[in-house]
Chain A
Amino acid sequence: MFGYWDALYFVFIFIIGLILAWLLNEWAKKSGMGTRETGDGTKIFISGEDPDKVVPGFEHLEGHFTGKNVMWGLTYALKRFFRVLRDDHTGLLTDYVSYLLITTGFVLGVILIWG
């Protein structure tokens, strides 16, 4: 049925998510190279980030195995995608106009062919 949900589903999914996260954590501890929970050997975990390395944009955050690791993992894994996006956003007015014209041409083409 559309548009209805049971709050219990969320509780179940949340518990399953917690179990999965715990299993992943245990697995990472066993198989990760140079992984320790404390001390100099702490390397990992989720993202493989080097805790000694300063992550640009996150200089103010401290600790390892924190939200910044996950964030670093996300941005690192998708760095090519983000670079393409960033390069595309030039801030140039001429580019804005070009995109508008290309979009108009595309919409016109689609509507004239299939519309």
Chain B
Amino acid sequence: MNGEAILPYLIIIPLFGAFAMPIVSLAGKKAREAWAVIISALTLVVASAVFYHVWKTKEIIVYTLGAKTPFGQGVGFPIRIVWEVDLFGAIMVLTVAFVSLMAVLYSLGYMKHDTGLEKYYTLILILELGMLGIAITGDLFNFYVFLEIMSIASYALVAFRNDTWEGIEAGVKYMFVGSIAGSFILLGIALLYGQYGTLTMGYIAVKIAENPTVTAKVALALFIAGLLFKSGASPVHMWLADAHPAAPSSISAMLSGLVIKVGGIYAMARILFSIYSPMAHSIVLKAYLQPYINMSAIGWLIIIFASLTLIIGNAMAVIQTDMKRLLAYSSVGQIGYILLGLGIGLAAYGTQTGEVALAGAIYHTVNHAIMKALLFLVAGVVIHEVGTRNLNELSGLAKTMPKTTFAFLIGAAAIVGLPPLNGFASKWLIYESSAVFNPVLGAIAIIGTAFCTAAYVRVLYTFFGRPSERVANARDPETSMMLPMLLLVLAIVIMGLLPWQISDKVMIPTARMLEQFKFEYINALMSLAGGA
């Protein structure tokens, strides 16, 4: 199987699916729903093939748009857009495609009373497309375009239900601040382009290593600030607690499960490890006493934000009475763990501690996508059946909605980090590496988990409490809503039963590929030089 041959279909299929949706919708409701499911399922098939190819061969796929090589004729540097997929990109692609399919399946039942669904399914496919594009691109401006495609689809979907002010207000706020954060990222790209004259990530990495200027540092600051916002890190997380609960639950699952990971965490990791190569700066240039960017300080900077995020996010979750808002703050808290792993991966670069922390961060990114998608889908079912998100009115739900409560129980136990579920393994890697790196960070991580546990135990306590009148007529939902939840539960349990196999065979190799000890990302691109 040729990775380069299948990669474009990852974009072509959802793009075609999204723009054909209004036409297909003319054939009726069933056709529209079938189209959305077929397109998402086909995208998942392609995503699985891409992942399998990269995982099996351990080779980075490099695809040039419109030519065989990104290097122009007569010039020694890349001028064309390239897509470059390493294992981290491939994992994100697979996760995005899987959770998006679950969200589409769930929407069949959840959104059936809504109108304007051709727009809804178009936007959901565009959102998926934007995320897939971010995960595969190796070009900075192309990355920005996909980031904006994803963001604009998110703004529109948050405000999709415009019969209440909540969605509109949250959507407007999200769009306004999100646009400022996006413009910071664009400014960072413009600075790098102005300084180094190229937009290809692998080649910018070479140029920055040759001449790490103040402009490169300013650009890095703008990237980090913008992407901290996009990932929902404290103190720029407040939009998330408005936007994620206001969206329809299927969209909340994608926003909390995927958008903040791909548009925030993944993008940050890609920029930090592939453009500002720590191997070049922290090891090579430092050893030869050449000017370099202190990536260890950048790691500590991220650790500071991570610590703040995991305490504030999880603590705010404890005092929420709105179930979806609780889940949104919990997402902020979990982003804290991922950032902690990422920060330690950078600050302890070149050590086993750093590698394990990075593997933990990548692992938790995948795990949290699945767990949080499940929890938001459960919240959607509860709203659908009971008509409220107020926890004080949901007492005794376990008696009337046993299957839904069971799904929540699994999701909550996994997110708290209870063995033998999937959240345990990834959190364990992060705890272990943070405790080895700096015991204070280990303690902060544990305090965050104490808050996280309190928040979820409270919900469970409510669900298993004395049945209130409000929940008396609630029932478990129809199959189309139950099936995605069941599949996500299965994913959590199966991944939980194979924690170290997944860690050793997938996450550690992914972390190694991202760390670029042999400049793999740069070499994959530069190997195409001279082929024009």
Contacts and interface: CB of A to CB of B under 8 A. Distances in A.
Interface residues of B, number: 61
B293 interface: yes
Contacts of A107: 221, 224-225, 228, 301
B218 A93 contact: no
A111 B228 contact: no
A2 interface: yes
Nearest to A104: B225
B223 to A, nearest CB: 9
Contact of B177 (A74, A85, A97): A97
Contact of B316 (A4, A57, A89, A112): A89
B13 interface: no
A93 B221 contact: no
A72 B228 CA distance: 33
A104 B177 CA distance: 13
Contact of A3 (B217, B298, B301, B428): B428
Given A71-B454, A93-B172, A103-B225, 13 more contacts: A2-B432, A2-B436, A57-B392, A58-B392, A60-B395, A61-B395, A85-B312, A89-B241, A96-B173, A99-B238, A100-B229, A104-B221, A115-B298
B176 interface: yes
Interface stretch (B194-202, B337-345, B456-464): B456-464
Interface string A47-91: 000000000011111100001100100110010011001100101
Contacts of A2: 352-353, 356, 429, 432-433, 436
Contacts of A114: 294, 297
Contact of B221 (A3, A7, A91, A111): A111
B466 A112 contact: no
B282 to A, nearest CB: 12
B509 interface: no
Which of A2, A59, A75 has the most CB atoms of chain B within a 10 A radius of its CB?
A: A2
B461 A61 contact: yes
Contact of B315 (A59, A85, A93): A85
Main secondary structure of the interface of A (DSSP, over half): helix
Interface of B: 172-173, 176-177, 180-181, 184, 214, 217-218, 220-222, 224-226, 228-229, 235-236, 238-239, 241-242, 293-294, 297-298, 301, 312, 315-316, 318-319, 321, 352-353, 356, 359, 391-393, 395, 419-420, 428-429, 432-433, 436, 454, 457-458, 461-462, 465-466, 468, 500, 503-504
A107 B97 CA distance: 33
A60 B468 contact: yes
Contacts of A75: 318-319
B297 A111 contact: yes
Nearest to A60: B395
Nearest to B172: A93
Interface of A: 2-5, 7, 10, 57-62, 67-68, 71, 74-75, 78, 81-82, 85-86, 89, 91, 93, 95-97, 99-100, 102-104, 107-108, 110-112, 114-115
Nearest to B292: A115
A85 B352 contact: no
Contact of B458 (A10, A71, A78, A95): A71
Nearest to B429: A3
Contacts of A91: 238, 242
A75 B500 CA distance: 36
A89 B466 CA distance: 32
A99 B176 CA distance: 14
B235 A99 contact: yes
Contacts of A78: 315
A61 B468 CA distance: 10
Nearest to B315: A85
Contact of B419 (A7, A74, A104): A7
B460 to A, nearest CB: 9
Contacts of A57: 321, 391-392
Contacts of B221: 104, 107-108, 110-112, 115
A85 B316 contact: yes
Contact of A81 (B222, B315, B321, B503): B315
Contacts of B352: 2
Contact of B318 (A58, A60, A82, A103): A82
A19 B1 CA distance: 58
A91 B246 CA distance: 13
5 contacts: A3-B432, A57-B321, A59-B392, A96-B239, A100-B181
A60 B301 contact: no
Contacts of A102: 235
Nearest to B235: A99
Nearest to A112: B217
